[in-house]
Structure 1
Amino acid sequence: MKTLGLIGGTSWHSTVVYYQLINKWVGEAIGSQANPELILYSINIEIMREQDRDKINAKYLEVSEKLIAAGAEGILICANTPHMASAYVQPKIPVPILHIAEATGREASRLGLKKLGLLGNRPTMTGSFIPEVLREKFGITTIIPEDHCLSQAHEYVSKELTQGKFTEAARKFFMNQINLLQERGAEGIILGCTELPLLIDGSQVGLPTLATTDLHARMAVDFILGD
């Protein structure tokens, strides 16, 4: 098995989910008598809230280099938003960053989806780090909620979901956004926040939902096992 370096902490709630899923699925593949070798570096989430792109890039490069020095053969960023640093970091390190958008694109392509709605916090929805990978590698178009809804979505994610709070008001808001995205042509919905699948029951949505955390963790397992 390959050794994987995990960059977590943004938020620690999502990091726990990643760690649990990777160990669970590797165990299902090889048996419970063994588990993968993982190296975890947990970053203080405040760096994301400062929204200083240069500082974020520098931090993720620094941490990636530390993980590689410790033996990591690949890097997994355990959240959606910090992937904004991946394009800066990847050319500067000798091991692959397993990109969350690539994991999402593979599943969307398998399902034959070409237009996806994207939900998450503001940086994830408005940033280029997911749409560019989907467009350039898979020919997939992404759409996001209307401008006047972005702030409310960001508030629910940053002030509630990443703090472990799951309210009915948040659920209704995001379900309404899904309906609006579907009306605009979305064939599937990217749940681009680790906590969104905990809030929204995919079986109650009238089109495919792509839970990025699950897809990303599966990608990590494939890498660890050499598939």
Structure 2
Amino acid sequence: MKTIGLIGGMSWESSAEYYRLLNQGIRERRGATASARCILWSFDFAEIERLQHEGDWDSLSALMVDAAQRLERAGADLLLLCTNSMHRTAPAIEAAVAIPLLHIADPAAESIRTAGLSRVGLLGTAFTMEQPFYRDRLAKRHGLEVIIPEADDRAMVHRTIYEELVAGRVLGESRAAYRDVIARLVDAGAEAVILGCTEIMLLVRPEDSAVPLFDTTALHVQAALEAMLAD
């Protein structure tokens, strides 16, 4: 089994899900006493959140690179960046280490293509929905047409992530609001919806959508499990 390095704490709520799903997956594949070989670098998300909203992506890239290099030196064979938004820094990480970074957008896109779908709605932070780093990868590398919510819906989705989900607050009224946003994405032509923030799966369930939901957290972990156990 390969050792996986997790760059987490963004937020720890979703990083805990990564840890649980990785270990659960290894147990299912290797037996009741088996668990994942992993090393976790966990950030103070307050620092990350401040830099994100200040737009200081140079400092954020430096922090992500430092974490990746620490994990590589500690013996990690591959890396998972346990957040969608911070994949804006993926090129810097890839350039700074010799071990592979498993990009979070790729397993979701590959699953969508395997399902025969091509028009997808995207939910996530404002950074993920509005900046090109994520949408362009889905479009240019995987041939997906990406639909994002209207401005008011984007603001609500972003606010819910930062004010509720990263703090472990899962509210029924927010689930209903997300359900309405998903319905509007479907009305706009989405054949599926990507849950493009690792906290959204804490709130939204398959029954909240008329079209398939693709949970980036679960799909990222599945790709990691395959890589960890590959010969």
Range class of TM-score, shorter chain: over 0.9
Matching residue of 2:39: 39
CA distance in 2: counterparts of 1:172 and 1:102, whole angstroms: 29
Say whether residues 1:56 and 2:60 are aligned partners. Answer: yes
CA distance in 1: counterparts of 2:208 and 2:68, whole angstroms: 39
Say whether residues 1:24 and 2:28 are aligned partners. Answer: no
Q: Which runs of 5+ in 1 are unaligned?
A: none
Matched residue of 1:94: which SS? Answer: coil
Matching residue of 1:123: 127
Amino acid at match of 1:4: I
Matched residue of 1:14: which SS? Answer: helix
The number of residue pairs the alignment matches comes to 227
Q: Which runs of 5+ in 2 are unaligned?
A: none
CA distance in 1: counterparts of 2:37 and 2:177, whole angstroms: 40
The sequence identity of aligned pairs, in percent, is 36
For 1:53-85, what per-residue CA distance to the aligned partner results, in whole angstroms no more than 9, with x for missing partners?
Answer: 001100000110110011111110112111111
Tell me the TM-score normalised to structure 2 length: 0.94
Write out the 4+ residue segments of structure 1 that deviate beyond 6 Å after TM superposition: none
Say whether residues 1:189 and 2:193 are aligned partners. Answer: yes
Tell me the TM-score normalised to structure 1 length: 0.96
How far off is 1:223 after superposition?
A: 0.9
Matching residue of 1:172: 176
Matching residue of 1:6: 6
Pairing partner for 1:96 from 94, 97, 100: 100
CA distance in 2: counterparts of 1:86 and 1:75, whole angstroms: 11
Pairing partner for 1:200 from 198, 204, 207: 204
How far off is 1:136 after superposition?
A: 2.1
For 1:165-220, what per-residue CA distance to the aligned partner results, in whole angstroms no more than 9, with x for missing partners?
Answer: 11122112111111111111101001112232222221341101001100011111
Matching residue of 2:154: 150
How far off is 1:161 after superposition?
A: 1.1
Matching residue of 2:164: 160
